[in-house]
Structure 1
């Protein structure tokens, strides 16, 4: 499972890890029922602390994307809800736009120009 993080991304690392796993599941790289590598293995691969990965995995469990089973590790329960993923991405876009001084209405106009 190949995940990458953007070191220039201002979001907390656990959110970036959760997003990377969420994208892997949504894209079909990791399928429902498939086990994930251990938190320690993921942390080593990403160059982050294992607690950061565990926090991300717990967030995904709370969303219903992952399932924790004692003695069996963490496995994918279901793909993330596409609408929820888009809401999260839209929130990130609006936050980024605000950092650059743009209002939501301006973002909507930009999106309309692209479609």
Structure 2
């Protein structure tokens, strides 16, 4: 499993690691039932602290994507639902738009202009 982080990304590292693992699962690099490498190995490959990776793994477990088993490591339970992920991002976009005084209809118009 090849994971990459963008050093110019302003998001906290744990969020970047979470997103990278989620993309690997969604993209089929790891399938449901597959075990992930140990957190220390992932941390070493990414150049981050093991606690950062553990925080990301716990977040993905809380989303229902991963399963922790004592003595067996971390396994993939299911692939993420793309609509669910996009719904979260759309919610964030609407919140950001509201800060600029734009409503949902105006955001929809902007999206239609882009497509």
**For this structure pair, what is the TM-score category when the shorter chain's length is used for normalisation?**
0.7 to 0.9
Larger Rg: 2
| Post-superposition CA distance 1:17-38 (Å, at most 9, x none) | 1111111111111100000011
- Counterpart of 1:49? 49
Q: CA deviation at 1:94?
A: 5.3
Q: Structure 1 stretch 84-93 or stretch 73-82: which is displaced more? A: 84-93
- Counterpart of 2:109? 109
User: Using the alignment, how far apart are the partners of 1:96 and 1:51 within structure 2?
Assistant: 30
Q: Would you say 1:78 and 2:78 are equivalent positions?
A: yes
- Counterpart of 1:6? 6
Please, what TM-score do these two structures have when normalized by structure 2? 0.85
Q: CA deviation at 1:109?
A: 2.5
- Evaluate the alpha carbon distance shift between residue 53 and residue 95 of structure 1 in structure 2; reply closer, same or farther with a 3 A threshold: farther
Q: Structure 1 stretch 85-94 or stretch 69-78: which is displaced more? A: 85-94
Q: CA deviation at 1:102?
A: 7.8
- Counterpart of 1:90? 90
Structure 1 spans left out of the alignment, 5+ residues: none
Q: Spell out structure 1 runs of 4+ moving beyond 3 A.
A: 91-99, 101-107
- Give the superposed CA RMSD: 2.1
User: Using the alignment, how far apart are the partners of 1:31 and 1:102 within structure 2?
Assistant: 42
Please, what TM-score do these two structures have when normalized by structure 1? 0.85
User: Using the alignment, how far apart are the partners of 2:5 and 2:15 within structure 1?
Assistant: 10
Q: CA deviation at 1:8?
A: 1.3
User: Using the alignment, how far apart are the partners of 2:101 and 2:30 within structure 1?
Assistant: 36
- Counterpart of 1:66? 66
